[in-house]
Amino acid sequence: MTNIHKTKIFKMSTSSSVYKNKQKMLSDFHLRLAVLVYRCLHGSAPGYLAADLQRVSHINARRRLRSSTTSALVVPRTVHSTIGNHTFPATAASVWNSLPESIRSSPSLQVFRSRLKTELFARSYRHD
3 C-beta neighbours (distance < 10 Å), count: 7
Residues 6-58 pLDDT 10s: 444 445 445 556 556 666 777 888 899 999 999 999 999 999 998 888 887 76
How many domains does one find in the chain? Answer: 1
Portion of the chain with pLDDT greater than 90, in percent: 34
DSSP state of 78: -
Spatial distance between the Cα atoms of 120 and 48, rounded to a whole number of angstroms? 27
State phi, psi for 48 to the nearest 5 degrees. -65, -25
Spatial distance between the Cα atoms of 55 and 96, rounded to a whole number of angstroms? 11
9 belongs to a structural domain: no
Q: pTM above the 0.85 mark?
A: no
User: Could you tell me the residue range of the domain that residue 85 belongs to?
Assistant: 28-126
20 belongs to a structural domain: no
2 belongs to a structural domain: no
Cα torsion through 114, 94, 91, 89, rounded to 10? -100
